[in-house]
Amino acid sequence: MGQIQKAIEEKLLAAMPEARCHVENQSHLHAGHAGHDGSGESHFHLVIHWEGFMAMNRLGRERHVHQILAQELPHIHALSMKLSF
């Protein structure tokens, strides 16, 4: 597990301790895209199940995750999310 993936997991669980989180590094699937060799930490997919999302609409859930990961986002090329409650 790389540093960015570890930071993402730690920050999500610190901000939402009751959440079930899965962070998948999908960078290897994008080898050759825009000069990426697939070996780094550029593409991530998040699956988060958290009851706290119940009070938020889809955009609110995504904004919440983006706020938590504000320091990591400049280092990530793509972030996809499946957020449920």
Query: What's the pTM value of the predicted model, to 2 decimals?
Result: 0.87
Helix axes 3-15, 58-68, angle to 10 degrees: 120
User: Which pLDDT belongs to residue 76?
Assistant: 93
Residue 10 pLDDT exceeds 60: yes
- The per-residue b/e assignment along 8-36, b for 16 or more CB within 10 angstroms, e otherwise, is beebbeeebeebebebebebeebeeeeeb
* DSSP helix, strand, coil percent of the chain (3-state; round to 5): 45, 25, 30
For the stretch 13-43, pLDDT in tens is 999 999 999 999 999 887 666 665 556 898 9
